[in-house]
Amino acid sequence: MKKTNLLAIMMGTFFLSVVSTAQTKPFQKEEFKQWAQTPPMGWNSWDCYGPTVEEHEVKANADYMAKELKKFGWEYVVVDIRWFVENDKAGGYNQTDPRYVIDQYGRYLPAVNRFPSAKDGQGFKPLADYIHKKGLKFGIHIMRGIPKKAVEEKMPIKGTNGITADQIYSTALQCEWLRDNYTVVADKPGAQEYYNSIFELYAQWGVDFIKIDDLSRPYHEGEINLIRNAIDHCGRKIVLSTSPGETPISAAQHVSTNANMWRMVDDVWDTWPHITHLMDVAQKWYPYIAPGTWPDCDMIPLGRISIRGERGNDRMTRLTKEEQYTLITFFNIFKSPLFFGGDLPSNDAFTLSLLTNKEVVKMHNESTAVKQLFQKDGKIAVTSKNAKDGSVYLALFNISDKDSQKVYVNLSELGISGAVEVLNMWTGEKSKTTSKEIGADLKPHSSVLYQLKSKK
């Protein structure tokens, strides 16, 4: 790095430190749950742009969200992986000769050639300000651990008396698929201070959401504890998402008392097996769906994806319309966080309709008591309730590959009897029934979503 660039970064970091608000009292234990009482909803750059997203693309998606989606509850705009690399590539990662941007304390900074407003050490603050002015919230992705570059150059850890990066790292359990960072050894002096230093920086930038990668397989309890403590002391409410991979159910108690959301599976792409695998794994997570802590189905691979992505060429989603309804219905009935992966300005009318159905959004925000009634023979039934209006929601799925099937439940299983008003939540069709069961003949890979109300 040229000396002039380093000087600018140092001056910018100093400026941010001066203008940042004074440290307030630490947040109380598990206060973070109040920051995401409903499942977070937003956009993430990964499915479209992989590790190559640029500032103008982030702004274009934020502009679209503010205009078309904000009124439906969509609010987070998240810059995904490797925003600190000047020369990354689509279809994987440049791990041969990456040019990192990093400050004197071993903290990554945005690559100015991709994020011009980050010049002079301003970091993501100007971009966050742009997004905040639209009434939206700003998020970033990081990898767990400490940069290898910081270790190799023995960079000092901010907030310590001479501890350097090479004193808190380990090569054990280094991420297998991206080698930018080393593991932070949680009980080493300086480990907490390092995480404190990066969250101090993110708070100064105005970050509202952070997705932290490589935490779940294996489950890194020590680093998660450091992260939770750092957020709770940074003075800013930052929603925490742990990722990726199948978080072990044995860690359910720990993750639900430290994170707002956690991934249940690896990346979900636009193929049918990804959806059925997700539904299978999700079965064990229903008991942990609760305000402030949400099992996460991953991003929504709909619309236009892989413009410069990891999997395949630039395309509209490969899922059929029926499969898209099935995916979005499951994400909503399960109360997963909703992070759209497609390029929002490229949306067609159908894709937009999947994100802006008022009744479905209401169910996603207000429903409680989510549970699976059954999953067998290619049939799935999931239900929840709305205590505010007394309605019951019911999603039915035929996930078999070949045969149409009648999928139904007895209304007594839903606590409903007598005459029932039925709303098909996707078509808007209303009907009434006095039958003792409710269901539908469903084609392979298709679904239906009902709102049911007992007629008084």
- Which CATH number characterizes residue 264's domain? 3.20.20.70
116 and 175, same domain (yes or no): yes
Output the pLDDT for position 22. 44
255 and 379, same domain (yes or no): no
187 and 56, same domain (yes or no): yes
Angstrom distance (rounded) from CA 20 to CA 181: 28
Is position 4 within any domain?
no
% the chain with pLDDT above 70: 95
Output the pLDDT for position 9. 52
Half-sphere exposure (Cβ direction) of 294: Cα atoms closer than 13 Å = 32
77 and 135, same domain (yes or no): yes
Is position 389 within any domain?
yes
Output the pLDDT for position 417. 87
Output the pLDDT for position 170. 97
Is position 415 within any domain?
yes
Angstrom distance (rounded) from CA 326 to CA 382: 12
pTM: 0.94
Q: Which residue has the tokens 């956009």?
A: 43
- Structural domain harbouring 422: 374-454
pLDDT in tens, 380-409: 999 999 999 999 999 999 999 988 999 999
Angstrom distance (rounded) from CA 158 to CA 243: 26
For residues 425-431, give the mean pLDDT. 97
Burial label, 217 (beta-carbon count in 10 A; 0-12, 13-18, 19+): middle
90 and 135, same domain (yes or no): yes
Is position 92 within any domain?
yes
Q: Is residue 3 pLDDT above 90, yes or no?
A: no
pLDDT mean across residues, the chain: 94
Which of 366, 384, 402 marks a domain boundary?
366
Is position 69 within any domain?
yes
| 204, two tokens | 């100064």
CATH number at residue 448: 2.60.40.1180
pLDDT in tens, 63-119: 999 999 999 999 999 999 999 999 999 999 999 999 999 999 999 999 999 999 999
pLDDT in tens, 174-217: 999 999 999 999 999 999 999 999 999 999 999 999 999 999 98
Is 45:57 a contact under the CB 8 Å cutoff? yes
Output the pLDDT for position 1. 45
253 and 304, same domain (yes or no): yes
Output the pLDDT for position 2. 44
pLDDT in tens, 155-176: 999 999 999 999 999 999 999 9
Output the pLDDT for position 10. 53
Which band of pLDDT confidence, cut at 50, 70 and 90, is reported for residue 6?
low
**Residue 142 CB partners (closer than 8 Å, separation 6+):** 108, 198, 210, 211, 212, 213
pLDDT in tens, 332-375: 999 999 999 999 999 999 999 999 999 999 999 999 999 999 99
| 18, two tokens | 């001066």
286 and 383, same domain (yes or no): no
Residue 181, beta-bridge partner list = 147
400 and 305, same domain (yes or no): no
Output the pLDDT for position 455. 81
CA-closest candidate to residue 319, choices 395, 246, 268: 268
Output the pLDDT for position 309. 87
Is position 10 within any domain?
no
What one-character-per-residue DSSP string does 342-382 give?
A: S-GGG--HHHHHHH--HHHHHHHHH-EEEEEEEEETTEEEE
280 and 389, same domain (yes or no): no
301 and 347, same domain (yes or no): yes
Which of 338, 366, 394 marks a domain boundary?
366
How many CB atoms within 10 Å of residue 187?
9
Angle, alpha carbons 57-78-45 (nearest 5°): 50
**Number of domains making up the chain:** 2
315 and 224, same domain (yes or no): yes
Which band of pLDDT confidence, cut at 50, 70 and 90, is reported for residue 12?
low
For residues 405-419, give the mean pLDDT. 94
Output the pLDDT for position 244. 83
Is 101:84 a contact under the CB 8 Å cutoff? yes
299 and 402, same domain (yes or no): no
Angstrom distance (rounded) from CA 453 to CA 456: 9
